[in-house]
């Protein structure tokens, strides 16, 4: 079963333009349009605007980063397609969106994989070189990796058991048939939709359950239709900001590490911000009527997830990456226990 992701409200970078040849000064300016699903004025959007200012200052105006928030560039699948045809040059994507480029990163967010933040950080640090290479092989440079949060089941009624959750009409991301099949093999009733259709589909009753982070549920105001959150952290949701390698190579070599460091710092700072916002989101949702429902059969969930994982091995994520991630998590867990 696939994790579900922005964060999917994770940032998406966009297109690059060059000035007219008749004006030498303008011809040197590289414009990188950055589209993001992050809402206008949100902490994520504000952080990206700060990054844009730093890129301008560091490059002396040679590289301009322009931010387009609120999903105006489409959902994650749309942004990947726009990068492929040159309308966008970069994107901030969750592992769900990254799957449209290469499937390996999605292994980070397999269901019930890590138990805490320390395991999560350990896994990413050990997997990052291989994931960076997988994306590089497809023509993209990773500027930074980021946390989007932990996903939970949000539903229109309390569903404290696996069997009850299976009766729900569950939102599943479009563009990933293998994930849909994984949910179906677990006995769920997946409804394949674009992310932009989540709230409208909740309104009409086409879906009644979403696996998402509390922060994103709050941002979308999807809590109006999903008043119950199951207390089982189902998966992590990880993001990366990537830029098209052809665009990146146009940036002077001496500027590249400096511009990249801006986003690395953004990822480090954003990690603590994301964790704080997630805790605050849960409390805010409670004041708006959210009920946190205790899951009563976690052992059954664990067993079923393990079974479906094996069925999806080599389909949702490559078999080698699948095995590497499970091995590394165990190594991280043993390392923590030793300390």
56-70: per-residue pLDDT in tens?
A: 999 999 999 988 787
Q: Facing residues of 228 across strands?
A: 155, 291
C-alpha–C-alpha distance, residues 337 and 131, integer Å? 26
Average pLDDT score over residue span 296-306? 96
Q: Are 201 and 226 in contact (CB under 8 A)?
A: no
Strands of the chain, DSSP E:
16-18, 30-35, 63-68, 90-94, 140-155, 169-173, 189-193, 209-212, 228-230, 235-244, 291-293
Percentage of residues in the chain with pLDDT exceeding 90? 66
Q: Are 14 and 33 in contact (CB under 8 A)?
A: yes
Q: Residue 339: which pLDDT band, with cuts at 50, 70 and 90?
A: low
Q: Facing residues of 150 across strands?
A: 236
The residue with greater pLDDT, 53 or 196, is 53
What pTM did the predictor assign?
A: 0.86
C-alpha–C-alpha distance, residues 280 and 120, integer Å? 21
Q: Residue 175: which pLDDT band, with cuts at 50, 70 and 90?
A: low
pLDDT for residue 38 = 74
C-alpha–C-alpha distance, residues 160 and 150, integer Å? 18
The residue with greater pLDDT, 118 or 25, is 118
Q: What share of the chain is helix, strand, coil (3-state, %, to 5)?
A: 50, 20, 30
Provide the 10 A C-beta neighbour count for residue 301: 19
The residue with greater pLDDT, 102 or 37, is 102
Apex 47 CA angle, 42 and 52, nearest 5: 125
C-alpha–C-alpha distance, residues 113 and 109, integer Å? 7
C-alpha–C-alpha distance, residues 59 and 62, integer Å? 5
pLDDT for residue 21 = 33
C-alpha–C-alpha distance, residues 162 and 164, integer Å? 5
Nearest Cα to 230, choosing from 313, 174, 150?
A: 150
pLDDT for residue 250 = 94
pLDDT at position 5 over 60: no
Q: What is the residue-averaged pLDDT of the chain?
A: 87
Question: Alpha carbon 204 to chain centroid distance?
Answer: 26
Question: Domains in the chain, ordered, with CATH?
Answer: 16-338 (3.40.190.170)
- Name residue, tokens 């390698």: 245
Nearest Cα to 77, choosing from 190, 191, 195, 158?
A: 195
Average pLDDT score over residue span 238-247? 93
């Amino acid at each position: 079963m696939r994790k579900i992701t922005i964060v999917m409200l994770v940032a998406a970078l966009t297109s690059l333009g060059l000035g007219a040849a008749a004006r030498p000064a303008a011809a040197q300016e590289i414009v990188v349009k950055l589209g993001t699903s992050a809402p206008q004025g949100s902490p994520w959007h504000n952080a990206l605007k700060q990054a844009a200012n730093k890129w301008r200052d560091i490059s002396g105006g040679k590289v301009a980063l322009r931010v387009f928030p609120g999903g105006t560039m489409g959902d994650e699948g749309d942004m990947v397609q726009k990068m492929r045809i040159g309308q966008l040059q970069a994107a901030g994507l969750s592992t769900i969106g990254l799957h449209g480029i290469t499937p390996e990163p999605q292994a980070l967010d397999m269901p019930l994989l890590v138990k805490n933040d320390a395991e999560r950080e350990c896994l990413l640090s050990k997997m990052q070189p291989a994931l960076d290479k997988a994306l590089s092989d497809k023509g993209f440079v990773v500027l930074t990796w980021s946390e989007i949060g932990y996903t939970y089941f949000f539903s229109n009624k309390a569903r404290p058991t696996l069997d009850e959750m299976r009766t729900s009409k569950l939102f599943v991301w479009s563009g990933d048939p293998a994930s849909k099949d994984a949910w179906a093999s677990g006995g769920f009733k997946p409804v394949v939709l674009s992310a932009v259709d989540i709230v409208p589909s909740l309104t009409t009753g086409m879906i009644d359950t979403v696996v998402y982070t509390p922060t994103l549920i709050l941002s979308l105001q999807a809590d109006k239709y999903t008043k119950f959150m199951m207390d089982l952290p189902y998966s992590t949701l990880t993001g990366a900001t990537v830029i098209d390698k052809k665009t990146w190579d146009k940036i002077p070599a001496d500027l590249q590490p400096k511009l990249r460091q801006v986003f690395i710092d953004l990822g480090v700072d954003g990690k603590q911000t994301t964790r704080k916002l997630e805790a605050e989101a849960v409390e805010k949702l409670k004041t708006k009527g959210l009920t946190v429902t205790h899951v009563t059969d976690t052992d059954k969930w664990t067993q079923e997830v393990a079974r479906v994982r094996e069925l999806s091995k080599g389909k949702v994520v490559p078999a080698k990456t699948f095995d590497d991630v499970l091995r590394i998590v165990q190594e991280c867990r043993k390392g923590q226990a030793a300390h």
